[in-house]
Amino acid sequence: MTSISPVRVMQRLEVASGRFSLRRYPLRQRETLRAWDAADEYLLNHLGRDITGRLLIINDSFGALGCALSGYRPTLQSDSYLSHWSTRENLAANRLDSDQVRLISSLDEPSDQYDLVLIRVTKTLALLEHELIQLKPHLTASSRVIGCGMVKQIHSSTLQLFERIIGPTHTSLAKKKARLIFATVDTDIDLPVSPYPVSYPLEGSAYQLVNHANVFSRDQLDIGTRLLLQHIPVNADYRDIIDLGCGNGVVGLMAAQRNPDARLHFVDESAMAVASAEATFTGAGLSNPACFRQGDALSGFAPASADLILCNPPFHQGSVVGDATAWRMFNQARRVLRHGGELRIIGNRHLNYHVKLKRLFGNARQVAADPKFVVLKSFKTG
């Protein structure tokens, strides 16, 4: 019997609106995670075909909601490049018209009044707060607002946000560890001003770090990045430096300051991160040329196009903890580095990134360490 490559296997979502073959992007060998969870199923089966009017979906993870509800011509709003990529690919795989689903980023203002809004609750309360404030002017008293998430993601603070911004809120019973949130629109509630983006000074400098709602280390510099900043290399031969997973752009900013002849490239999967990095860098007034890109790590970069890549890799994707994202970043970094180019990273000690780097590059050296973090570097020699 001929075996099927694991990366080609699709999983089928069966809900009231139909059956859909879905995958998570980027595709991985031996993928065991689905492109949806019990909260998506709960929401879709609750709705059935009781959908009329204009539909907005916020934070669809991998396109499950967008595909299942594409017939209602929804608008999908997300901060995630992977969410939009997965949605496009899954629509095509199910032979659904991509024109039926309008994709917008978390920085885009919704352009309509909506009769039904579906919100996947994220682990970042600040992002949810931003989204609800942005949403409220596009609701009427008769609009339906339904949130969904796993029980572990929904806290009293989550419900308080819906209450404070949208109106009276209650939850469903839990099913398969998932729960729905129902908020009634109260048009008499005064719309608060969004506190985002926020900024704070980079200690020991005149720079301000700008942070939109979904940016890591939004309120203060995290201790891992603090260590990496102390060990950014200087080389007059650097032509191109990449801040990979740039967040608010502080690593690329300091690399630019120390290498004034280098071109900087800021890239992140989050639209809000890229916008934050651009605002941070522009406000700093440095003369380095710079570009800013939302994407899947280094997928859009040409081979042998960078001399230095700096990275504080995430050890989770959404609520899933693991090193798959970091491993993907390291592999792409090796492709994008020029001969003799360097990848320099910061990571928790227990993640043992040096093992992966040595396997991939053939070399890995420790630059610095503290009780929790380690700075590592690898050179492209082959």
Query: Which pLDDT score is estimated for 322?
Result: 55
Q: 150, 184, 218 — which closes off a domain?
A: 184
Tokens of 147: 């949130």
Query: Which pLDDT score is estimated for 238?
Result: 97
Counting residues of the chain whose pLDDT is more than 70, the rounded percentage is 95
Q: Please tell me whether residues 238 and 179 are part of one structural domain.
A: no
User: Which of 287, 129, 277, 141 is closest to 217 using CA atoms?
Assistant: 277
55: which residues sit within 8 A by CB, 6+ positions away? Answer: 69, 72, 73, 74, 75, 114, 115, 116, 117, 118
* Whole-angstrom Cα Rg for the chain: 22
Q: Could you write out the three-class secondary structure of 131-183?
A: HHHHHHHHEEEEEEEEEEEEHHHCCHHHHHHHHHHCCCEEECCCECCEEEEEE
Q: How many residues does the chain have?
A: 382
- Residue 282 three-state SS: helix
**From 127-141, 232-246, 308-322, the region with the lowest mean pLDDT:** 308-322
Query: Which pLDDT score is estimated for 109?
Result: 87
Summarised one tens digit per residue, pLDDT across range 174-199 is: 999 999 999 999 999 999 999 999 99
Domain count, the chain: 2
Residue 354 phi, psi dihedral angles, 5° rounding:
-60, -30
Q: Are 115 and 52 in contact (CB under 8 A)?
A: yes
Summarised one tens digit per residue, pLDDT across range 250-268 is: 999 999 999 999 999 999 9
Query: Which pLDDT score is estimated for 260?
Result: 97
Summarised one tens digit per residue, pLDDT across range 63-108 is: 999 999 999 999 999 999 999 999 999 999 999 999 999 999 999 9
Q: Please tell me whether residues 246 and 329 are part of one structural domain.
A: yes
Q: Please tell me whether residues 225 and 369 are part of one structural domain.
A: yes
Q: Are 131 and 327 in contact (CB under 8 A)?
A: no
Q: Please tell me whether residues 267 and 294 are part of one structural domain.
A: yes
What is the CATH number for 65? 3.40.50.150
Q: Does the pLDDT at position 2 exceed 60?
A: no
pTM (whole model) above 0.85: yes
In a domain, 1, yes or no: no
- Residue 281 three-state SS: helix
- Residue 337 three-state SS: strand
In a domain, 253, yes or no: yes
For residue 191, give Cα distances in angstroms to 133, 141, 281: 7, 14, 31
Per-chain mean pLDDT for the chain = 93
Residue 73 domain boundaries: 6-184
Q: Are 162 and 179 in contact (CB under 8 A)?
A: no
